[in-house]
């Protein structure tokens, strides 16, 4: 029997953040939960989770509810229990202002690149070597502050560009689960 796969979508709790650029990870988790028949997310202390099976794996979808800059605390229970190998069994989904809306990049590791959620995850895990899926949300205009940009709602057309790539994201996630991050990169980055 295969083990546990943990897929974490970074975002912020609260209705005011639901359509912001910072919450595209949550948007994709909602699609995964619906498509894989996992039902509703159930909140706990640091995260809302949905669990199920995508044969042959047990899969847990995790939305940290501690706000972006403390997202890593949702991963501490998995680290303490040694429940997963973070280099193979964890995927973090995150917004990326360096990519145009709708562009996606699977990566085996990397730096936080100024992203506070990734900084928190790296601190909690004690490593930068964990797979991630970066979803483009577009660069901030020069007159905008970065925090204001990622916490502002995406225009409808940009939302559509992101959501149009969800089928590729989901197919890439399945390839990651079955074959690893490199094949997912080779087939779906773009």
pLDDT tens sequence across 105-131: 999 999 998 899 999 999 999 999 999
Query: What are 42's two structure tokens?
Result: 């159930």
pLDDT tens sequence across 65-108: 999 999 999 999 988 888 899 999 999 999 999 999 999 999 99
pLDDT at 178: 96
Buried b (16+ CB within 10 A) or exposed e, 55-87: eebebbbbbbbbbbebbbbbbeebbeeebbebe
d(CA 11, CA 31): 15
- Check 9, 12, 20, 22 and give the catalytic one: 22
Q: Is 115 a catalytic residue?
A: no
pLDDT at 82: 84
Residue 97's contacts (CB-CB under 8 Å, 6 or more residues apart) are 21, 137, 138, 139, 140, 146, 149, 150
Query: What are 184's two structure tokens?
Result: 């997912």
pLDDT tens sequence across 166-175: 999 999 999 9
Q: Any idea what the CATH number is for the domain that residue 179 is in?
A: 3.40.50.1470
pLDDT at 190: 83
State yes or no: pLDDT of 2 exceeds 80. Answer: no
d(CA 178, CA 42): 27
- Check the CA dihedral 83-170-9-126 and report its sign: positive
pTM score, whole prediction: 0.96
State yes or no: pLDDT of 1 exceeds 70. Answer: no
pLDDT tens sequence across 129-166: 999 999 999 999 999 999 999 999 999 999 999 999 99
pLDDT at 113: 86
Please count the structural domains in the chain: 1
Give the range of the structural domain holding residue 130, as residue numbers without chain letter: 4-188
């Amino acid at each position: 029997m295969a083990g546990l796969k943990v897929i974490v979508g970074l975002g912020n709790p609260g209705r005011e953040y639901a359509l912001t650029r910072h919450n595209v990870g949550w948007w994709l988790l909602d699609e995964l939960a619906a498509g894989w028949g996992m039902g509703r997310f159930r909140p706990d202390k640091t995260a809302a989770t949905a669990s199920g099976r995508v044969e042959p794996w047990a899969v847990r979808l995790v939305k940290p509810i501690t706000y972006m800059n403390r997202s890593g605390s949702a991963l501490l229970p998995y680290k303490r229990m040694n429940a997963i190998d973070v280099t193979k069994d964890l995927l973090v989904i995150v917004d990326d202002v360096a990519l145009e809306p709708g562009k996606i990049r699977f990566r085996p590791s990397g730096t936080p690149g100024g992203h506070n959620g990734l900084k928190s995850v790296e601190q909690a895990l004690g490593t930068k070597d964990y797979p991630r899926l970066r979803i483009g949300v577009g660069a901030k205009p020069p007159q905008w502050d970065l925090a204001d940009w990622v916490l502002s709602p995406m225009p409808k057309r940009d939302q559509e560009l992101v959501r149009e790539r969800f089928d590729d994201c989901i197919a890439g996630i399945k390839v990651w689960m079955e074959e690893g991050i490199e094949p997912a990169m080779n087939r779906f980055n773009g």
